[in-house]
Chain A
Amino acid sequence: MTGSEYIQQISQLQQAVKKDAALSAAELQQKYLGSNGAFTLLAKQITEIDPSDRKLAGRPLNELKNMLAEAITAACNHTTTDTWIDLSLPGEKPAVGHVHPISQAMAEITNIFTSIGFTRVRYPEVDWDWYVFESLNMPPDHPARDEWETFFVDHKPDKKKGQMVLTTHTSNGQVREMERLGKPPIRMINIARCYRRQQDVTHTQMFHQFEGLVVDKGITIQHLKGTLDYFAEQFYGPGTKSRIRPFHFQFTEPSFEVDFSCHLCAGKGCRFCKSGWHEVGGCGMVHPNVLKAGGLNPDVYTGFAFGWGIERTYTLKEGLAIDDIRLLYSGDLQFLEQF
């Protein structure tokens, strides 16, 4: 068979397929693509034509194949005109569960920080006083400890590391991360459960914090500000700014409080924010004594750290002014299913 004869047969089949538009998908399948189907047979014959013409014939054969596929797809979608479908019926939704809002916030926070080179870590939630307080420049009985309503575990203290406590903040990860890495670069994000001995509409005995720690040569307040601005913009939306104000923590020097500009009024002041800013948490430049406790030389390295409550940070998002924070840990499905 010559190439042109072959191509002619292809075009005859194309006409036939057009005429068969009313056939069902199965009928089309059988007639053309079955083991004795017209296309199958024709396709086999391509080996019989002159090799120099084969290339020429290949393309129309492919077109025919596509045409068949389309015809079969179209046939599948045929609806018989006598079946009436009520398009006004409500849909039947699949059962969809919910990732807890705190998990959602954690995932978002993790993504934001990992995309600027932070490593997420996990450290003990039940830890020694050394990591939670003493290595953070807070010797036993220091008045600064009053700010943390600490739960103590009824357990014999460790000779060197002191009492066993429930972590009151994620800052226990600071010296632990320095110990893990041995030396900078350190860019840590530690997200964990924390515990404080207090309970009301804005406090739960268990809550969550995320802690950032960056230590290296040449880390300055500018980098802290840059990180805060980056987070604000990513987490609360474009245009959100951060601001640091003087504060005091034993484990940072200088220490700051962090505010984010209100995304509702862009910092002008509204009913939601009152002053144009929302206070979120604390941060500062790592205190030389903390670097020393972690085995790093404060004359060589500087660093910054921040640690904020996830609940507070998350509920500042537009529409999430949850009036009773305890709902988060109540297991109340009516509440959780909203998220």
Chain B
Amino acid sequence: MNILIPHSWLLEHLDVAIKPKKLQEYLSLCGPSVEQIYERAGDSIYDIEVTTNRSDAMSVRGIAREAAAILPQFGVPAKLRPLTVPVVPKPSKKLELPSITENNQLNKRTLCIVLSDIKRAQTPAWMARRLEAIEMNVHDAAIDITNYITHELGHPCHAFDYDKLVATGNKIIITEATAGESFTTLDGETYRTVGGEVVFKDGSGTIIDLPSIKGTANTSVDSSTKNILLLMESIDAKKVRFASMSHAIRTTAAQLLEKNIDPNLATDVLQLGVKLYQEVCDARVASEVYDHFPSLVKPDKVITTSTELLRYLGIEIPLKEAKKMLERLGCVVEIKSDSLVVTPASFRPDLRIPADIVEEVARLYGYHNIPSMLMATPIPINRPADTNFILEQSLKEFLATIGWQEVYTYSMVSEAEATDSGFAINEHLRLANPLTEDKVYLRRSLVPSLVAVLTANPMRQPLSVFEIANVYHPSGPSLPDQVLTLGIVSSDSYRTVRGVLEALLTKLHIKQFSIETTAGSNQAILVLGHKNQVVGTITQQAGITAIQVQVQSLVEHAKSHPVYEPQAKTATIREDLTFGLPKKTAVGALMTELQKLDKRITRLELSTVYNDNYTFTCYYHDPKENLTSDQVAPIRKQLVAAVEQHWSGSLVGELA
């Protein structure tokens, strides 16, 4: 939450001589962050971020209190000025207070008073100027006073049209709404209750206010209002949040009161309100003050030892010094032997445990004054077994080095992309609250996203991209299987892309792999290891080759180094053989078969393809003796015979 505080307004609560720039610096180092200073109408306006646990600082007085605690740490004398609000005078006219049916469970305090004969006047210039400086709309005095005092003291208040209340029976029943009740807010919007909101009702059961959030049209101030009921309540914070979130009515009042604003603050707000209504609107006090405050909210004592301070800060801060700091923050502090016994102010419900006290002392001491050093504690050596980030990075580096582009695409995909994954749309996990239609389903394949990248870059041909990311497979009642996957998509030739995969596996020293095809299918599978584990797929469609491999299985099978093989003692003979092969010959299968013909064929490579002619480089080697051409000739013959008989191919050229 951010709050705007004019420097001049702050000085009404803070006795200090300081330049706004300096105040910004010091406050930001030890307290709420002053993000910016705006110069408006001769005043400096601080734009301050107040954290959600410090709703007590969401007011001019709250910031003044912080500044009074912080500035002396920097050697700047500063004091919080005492709050001077007159006690509410006796009524000069008697109008009957509404009869209020309290509910102590739902509401901690109700404080109200009737003010009559309100003169509907323009907001005075000094007040209007301040409201404008803090970017609030200026209406007329009767309305603006409530906003003004809320901003100054930090407890929201509401002005009812007293006569409207009287017309509905002058009754306020504090209760929970049942589902389906209707109410119309002061800006004319109609809502239906979901049940459980705290509401004010009249005797007939009509909702006459959504307390702590927004007034309703049937009781709020309008241009004809002459008498008002100025009221402050303290509805249970969780209930405020529930109603505010249920109806998406996020007023300043709701955002404050859902964070446990101190009900004790209401007294000052009421007194200041009465004073301003009297001064600005010539109002008359027309009732006694109604104050229902069954249990004064008292914060618990927090005991913090000096060891605890040391444990967090690593340096000793004398308890006497800590006591002074905490007292400036409104705490009552006793030193008992080695401990600080702290009774926080009622407006600081956030101070509950020793760590909270440590934070207050540490920030006032100044985080910038605490030394900086690295840990001397033991280093853990137990890394998760199923990850290998070094391998992941080297995969990326390898693919990038050979010319491929790494991309990051979204984990959520559109309905069309989800369907393209090959899984039915209802076999996907779906977001309950997607932001955009193109990101609704948790993807089960990287391919559609990567194909989209190719499509989006039509000028690059061929283009090869890859990504390492999770795919998400639903897994019954459990979290989805989140499978880290290497996705490769390319418009380059199938041989090139497959070659990259083969080179990658070789680079990882994975020897045992095969790419298995099925006749008539455009998808092959990648099989790794002795157990023939299927770890990936290769798909060829419309000129695009797509590969997906589970990174986890690469981690399992990869080696950091090869198995050393001694240099061969005998020579290898190498020669090229070219065969003409019939169309649609599965050359991969042919090669596997040829290699099995003789164990002295140690390698067989496809070197070039020209029309239907395939040139293979054959390597012959015998570890026991140097092969002679006479020994190679029969092997060669076998090769040629196999191609001719089993594959209907023919050798190009003559057999030596």
A residues touching B (Cβ–Cβ < 8 Å)? 94-100, 102-103, 107, 110, 116-117, 119-122, 124-128, 141, 143-144, 147, 151-156, 158, 164, 166, 180-181, 184-187, 193, 195, 197-199, 205-206, 214, 216-223, 225-230, 242-248, 253-257, 285, 287-288, 302, 328-333, 336-337
Q: In the bound complex, do residue B377 and residue A141 qualify as a contact, i.e. CB atoms below 8 Å apart?
A: no
* 3 nearest A-B pairs in the assembled complex, by CB-CB distance: A95-B403, A248-B51, A254-B359
Task: Give the CA-CA distance A225 to B373 in the complex, in Å.
Answer: 7
Q: A246-B31, A331-B457 are in contact. Are A121 and B387 (CB under 8 A)?
A: yes
Within 8 Å CB of A220, what residues of B? 311-314
Segment of B475-483, B511-519, B615-623 engaged in the interface with chain A: B475-483
**Would you call B655 an interface residue if the criterion is a C-beta within 8 Å of the partner chain's C-beta atoms?**
no
CB < 8 Å neighbour of A331 from B387, B407, B431, B435: B407
Does B635 belong to the interface (CB within 8 Å)? no
The residues of A that contact B479 with a CB separation of less than 8 Å are: 124, 126-128, 164
Contact B378 A96 (CB under 8 A): no
Distance in Å from the Cβ of B316 to the closest Cβ of chain A? 12
Is there contact, CB below 8 Å, between B482 and A205? no
Cα A223 to Cα B370 in complex, Å, equals 10
Taking A156-B477, A166-B411, A246-B30 as known contacts, 4 extra A-B pairs with beta carbons closer than 8 A to each other, sorted by chain A number, are A119-B383, A164-B479, A248-B54, A329-B410
Residues of B within 8 A of A180 (CB): 384
CB atoms of B393 and A107 under 8 A apart = yes
Min CB distance A138 to B, Å, is 11
Q: How far is the CA of A107 from the CA of B392 in the complex (A)?
A: 10
Question: What 1/0 flags go to B401-427 for Cβ under 8 Å of A?
Answer: 111111111111000000000000000
Q: Which residue of A lies closest to B354 (CB)?
A: A288
CA distance A227 to B482 in the complex (A): 31
CB-CB contacts below 8 Å: B438-460 with A: 439, 442, 452-453, 456-457, 460
| CB-based contact B375/A221 at 8 Å | no
User: With A119-B380, A186-B380, A197-B435 given, is the CB distance from A225 to B407 under 8 Å?
Assistant: no
A289 to B520, CA, bound (A): 60
Q: List 7 A-B contacts (CB under 8 A).
A: A122-B387, A205-B436, A221-B314, A226-B374, A246-B30, A246-B363, A246-B367
- What are the interface flags for B307-328 relative to A under an 8 Å C-beta threshold, 1 for contact and 0 otherwise? 0000111110000000000000
For the complex, give the distance between the alpha carbons of A158 and B363 in Å: 40
Alpha-carbon distance between A254 and B469 when the two chains are bound, in angstroms? 35
Are the C-beta atoms of B367 and A256 separated by less than 8 Å? Answer: yes
> B314 touching A125 by the CB < 8 A rule?
no
Is B195 engaged at the interface, CB distance under 8 Å to the other chain?
no
A187 to B380 Cα, complex, angstroms: 7
User: A residues within 8 A CB of B439?
Assistant: 205
Contact A96 B401 (CB under 8 A): yes
Q: Taking the complex as formed, is B546 at the interface, i.e. its CB lies under 8 A from any CB of chain A?
A: no
Q: Are A97 and B355 in contact (CB under 8 A)?
A: no
Determine how close the nearest CB of chain A comes to the CB of B359; give it in whole angstroms: 3
User: What residues of A have a CB within 8 angstroms of the CB of B29 in the complex?
Assistant: 245
List residues of B (112-142) whose CB comes within 8 Å of A's CBs: none
Q: In the assembled complex, which residues on chain B have CB atoms less than 8 Å from the CB atom of A98?
A: 400, 405-406
Please indicate the chain B residues that have their CB under 8 angstroms from the CB of A120 in the complex: 383, 387, 389
Chain B min CB distance to A328 (Å)? 7
Closest to A161 in B: B479
Contact of A199 among B356, B436, B470 (CB under 8 A): B436
For residue B352, which residue of chain A has the nearest CB?
A: A253
A interface majority secondary structure: mixed
Given A245-B28, A246-B363: A206 in contact with B407 (beta carbons within 8 A): no
Q: Would A226 and B372 count as touching, CB distance under 8 A? A: yes
B32 proximity list for chain A (CB < 8 A)? 246
Instruction: Give A142 to B648 CA distance when docked, in angstroms.
Output: 75
B429 and A154 within 8 A (CB): yes
Q: Which residues of B contact A219 (CB under 8 A)?
A: 375, 377
- On whether the beta carbons of B377 and A218 are closer than 8 Å, the reply is yes
**Is the CB–CB distance between A94 and B403 below 8 Å?**
yes
Q: Assess whether A152 is in contact with B431, with CB atoms less than 8 Å apart.
A: yes
Partner of B373, one of A125, A147, A226: A226
Q: Does B530 have its Cβ within 8 Å of any Cβ on chain A?
A: no
Contact of A288 with B371 at beta-carbon distance under 8 Å, contacts A151-B433, A217-B377 already known: no
Q: Can you name the residue of chain B whose Cβ is closest to the Cβ of A218? A: B377
In the bound complex, residues from chain B placing their C-beta under 8 Å from that of A94 are 403
Quick one: given A98-B400, A126-B472, A332-B456, are A216 and B377 in contact (CB under 8 Å)? yes
Whether B379 sits at the interface, judged by CB under 8 Å, is yes
A226 to B405, CA, bound (A): 37
With A110-B389, A336-B407 known as contacts, the answer to whether A122 contacts B384 (CB < 8 A) is yes
Q: Is B430 an interface residue (CB 8 A)?
A: yes
Q: Which residues of A contact B92 (CB under 8 A)?
A: none
Are B382 and A181 in contact, CB atoms less than 8 angstroms apart?
yes
Q: Which of A99, A116, A227, A248 contacts B400 (CB 8 A)?
A: A99
Return chain A residues, CB-CB under 8 Å to B401: 96-97
**Is B581 an interface residue when CB atoms closer than 8 A count as contact?**
no
Of the candidates B241, B367, B393, the one whose C-beta lies within 8 Å of that of A244 is B367
B53 to chain A, nearest CB (A): 5
Map CB proximity to A onto B292-310 as digits: 1 under 8 Å, 0 otherwise: 0000000000000000000
Residues of B within 8 A of A228 (CB): 372
Report Cα–Cα, A302/B405, bound state, in Å: 43
Known: A119-B382, A205-B435, A221-B370. A97 touches B312 (CB 8 A): no
B41 in contact (CB, < 8 A): no
Q: A253-B359, A287-B355, A333-B463 are contacts. A206–B431 as well, Cβ < 8 Å?
A: no
User: In angstroms, how far is the closest chain B Cβ from the Cβ of A5?
Assistant: 36
Contact B407 A100 (CB under 8 A): yes
Which residues of A lie under 8 Å from residue B456 when comparing CB positions?
330-332
CB-nearest residue of chain A to B463: A333
Which residues in A have their C-beta under 8 angstroms from that of B457? Answer: 331-333
**A225 contacts B370, C-beta separation under 8 Å:** yes
- Would A337 and B405 be within 8 Å (CB), given that A119-B380, A222-B313, A245-B28 are in contact? yes
Among B258, B353, B402, B431, contact of A154 (Cβ-Cβ < 8 Å): B431
Given A103-B393, A125-B411, check contact A227 B374 (CB 8 Å).
yes
Contact, CB under 8 Å: B52 / A331:
no
A253 and B356 contacting across the interface, CB-CB below 8 Å: yes
Contact yes or no, B429 A97, CB < 8 A: no
Q: How far is the CA of A298 from the CA of B542 in the complex (A)?
A: 60
B601 CB to nearest A CB, Å: 29
Chain A: CB-nearest residue to B28: A245
CA distance A58 to B288 in the complex (A): 120
Please measure, in the bound complex, the distance between the C-alpha atom of A214 and the C-alpha atom of B378, giving whole angstroms.
11
> B353 and A253: CB pair below 8 A?
yes
Residue of A126, A228, A330 ringed by the most chain B CB atoms within 10 A:
A126
Residues of chain A within 8 A (CB-CB) of B356 are 253
Nearest-CB residue, chain B, relative to A298: B355
Complex alpha-carbon distance, A313 and B378, angstroms: 28
Distance, CA A150 to CA B53, complexed state (A): 21
Instruction: Tell me, yes or no, whether B173 is within 8 Å of chain A by CB.
Output: no
Contact A223 B375 (CB under 8 A): yes
Contact of A126 with B407 in the complex, beta carbons under 8 Å: no
* CB of B39 within 8 Å of the partner chain: no
Q: A99–B377 Cα gap in the complex (Å)? A: 35
A245-B33 Cα distance, complex, nearest whole Å:
8
Please pick, from A143, A151, A333, the residue contacting B431 in the complex, using a CB distance under 8 A: A151
Residues of A within 8 A of B181 (CB): none
B174 at the interface (CB under 8 A from A): no
* Contact A187-B379, Cβ < 8 Å, known A95-B403, A195-B411, A331-B453: yes
Most A C-beta atoms less than 10 A away, residue of B378, B382, B407, B439? B407
Complex CA–CA separation, A256 to B242 (angstroms) = 29
Contact: A254 with B435, CB < 8 Å? Answer: no
Chain A positions within 8 Å of B372 at CB level:
222, 225-226, 228-229, 242
| A181/B380 contact (C-beta < 8 A), A221-B367, A248-B52 known | yes
Which residue of chain A has its CB nearest to the CB of B438?
A205
Per-residue CB proximity of B221-262 to A under 8 Å, as 1/0?
Answer: 000000000000000001001100100000000000011000
Bound together, the chains give a CA A113 to CA B479 distance in angstroms of 29
- B10 proximal to A (CB < 8 A): no
